[in-house]
């Protein structure tokens, strides 16, 4: 059984407290041991009890309090980092955290000898301004939450989703090939179109347009985003509620990218 010794764990608090207290007791016995030969039996017993209980009470209490406070600080820092990286409305990554995670993955991919693969999708809610204008911003917020949950429901554990604009989301699929990436994009589009959104009991259909690019080899987040954004514009120009997607083959050969609706 592996003990959790992370800064936020109680295992770290207990281990440091016990080990530190044992060290204090050992140090007290070592320093006082030079006086032991000259002490009477009663004085020797008293000295040993003092060397045991004084570090145990004072040192142990101090270490326990110190480690408890350090754990509280580590927990607060962790919670703060989560809040700083999370979009407060939809609970997915915010734009800064999303781009940082994608760039970190791409940096690692470039450092490896073997080329890596994956895809970037940009998901934009269609006619979202009309939802805010007709139903109010609270209903618009509920629609965004529903869209975010639906996107998350179509992803694997390693996939990343973030809100990168008002009604715009981005999805990164590390290690996914072009076929799986397109199927994920199409699944997201279909599930959102099928989602029940009835603010105030009135049906309000939702749909999204998706632009995407799959990569196979070294690339950058900036380059991928430009291509995916161009395909998002194409999907919207062609009537919305569709996926415009570029695979590595079409990117290299100049073939037309797939567009489905």
pLDDT of residue 22: 95
The answer to whether residues 171 and 211 touch, using CB atoms and an 8 Å cutoff, is no
Angle at 196 between CA 194 and CA 199, to 5 degrees: 145
- Other C-beta atoms closer than 10 Å to the C-beta of 15 total 14
Strand ranges (E), the chain: 117-125, 160-163, 168-174, 208-216, 243-246, 258-260
Is 194 part of the annotated catalytic residue set?
no
CA distances from 88 to 94, 141, 260 (A): 8, 11, 32
The answer to whether residues 210 and 189 touch, using CB atoms and an 8 Å cutoff, is yes
CA distances from 211 to 120, 154, 178, 183, 198 (A): 8, 16, 13, 13, 27
**How many residues are given for the chain?**
261
Catalytic residue, chosen from 167, 168, 186, 246, is: 167
The answer to whether residues 127 and 236 touch, using CB atoms and an 8 Å cutoff, is no
- CATH level 3 topology of 95-246: Alpha-Beta Plaits (3.30.70)
Q: Token digits for 161?
A: 């989703």
pLDDT of residue 219: 87
The answer to whether residues 71 and 10 touch, using CB atoms and an 8 Å cutoff, is yes
**Long-range interactions of 108-111: CB distance < 8 A, separation 24+:** 109/218, 110/218
pLDDT of residue 7: 84
Per-residue pLDDT tens, the chain, 261 aa: give them: 677 778 888 888 999 999 999 999 999 999 999 888 888 888 999 999 999 999 999 999 999 999 999 988 888 887 777 767 899 899 999 999 999 999 988 888 777 654 578 999 999 999 999 998 888 999 999 999 999 999 999 999 899 999 999 999 999 999 999 999 999 999 999 999 999 999 888 889 999 999 999 998 888 999 999 999 999 999 999 999 999 999 875 443 334 455 554
Spell 111-130 as b/e; 16+ CB within 10 A means b.
Answer: eeeeebbbbbbbbbbbebee
By DSSP bridging, strand 168-174 and strand 258-260 are unpaired
Closest among 25, 46, 19 to 35, alpha carbons compared: 46
pLDDT of residue 1: 62
Tokens 């994009």 correspond to 185
pLDDT of residue 30: 92
Report the predicted TM-score, pTM, of the whole model to 2 decimal places.
Answer: 0.72
């Amino acid at each position: 059984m592996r003990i959790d010794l992370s800064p936020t764990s109680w295992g770290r608090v207990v281990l440091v407290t016990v080990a530190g207290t044992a060290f204090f007791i050992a140090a007290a016995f070592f320093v006082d041991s030079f006086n032991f030969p000259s002490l009477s039996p009663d004085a020797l017993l008293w000295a040993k009890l003092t060397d045991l209980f004084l570090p145990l009470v004072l040192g142990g209490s101090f270490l326990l309090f110190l480690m408890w406070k350090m754990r509280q600080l580590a927990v607060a820092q962790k919670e703060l980092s989560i809040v700083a990286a999370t979009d407060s409305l939809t609970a997915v990554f915010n734009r800064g955290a999303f781009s940082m995670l994608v760039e970190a993955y791409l940096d690692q991919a470039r450092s490896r000898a073997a080329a890596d693969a994956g895809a970037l999708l940009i998901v934009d809610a269609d006619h979202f301004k009309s939802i805010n204008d007709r139903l109010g911003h609270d209903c618009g917020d509920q629609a965004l939450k529903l869209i975010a949950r639906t996107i998350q429901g179509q992803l694997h554990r390693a996939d990343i989703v973030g809100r990168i604009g008002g009604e715009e989301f981005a999805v990164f699929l590390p290690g996914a090939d072009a076929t799986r990436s397109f199927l994920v994009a199409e699944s997201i589009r279909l599930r959102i179109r099928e989602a029940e959104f009835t603010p105030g009991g009135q049906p309000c259909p939702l749909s999204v347009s998706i632009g995407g690019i799959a990569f196979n080899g070294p690339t950058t987040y900036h380059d991928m985003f430009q291509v995916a954004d161009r395909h998002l514009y194409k999907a919207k120009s062609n009537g919305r509620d569709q996926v415009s997607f570029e695979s590595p083959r079409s990117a290299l050969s100049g073939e037309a990218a797939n567009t489905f609706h």
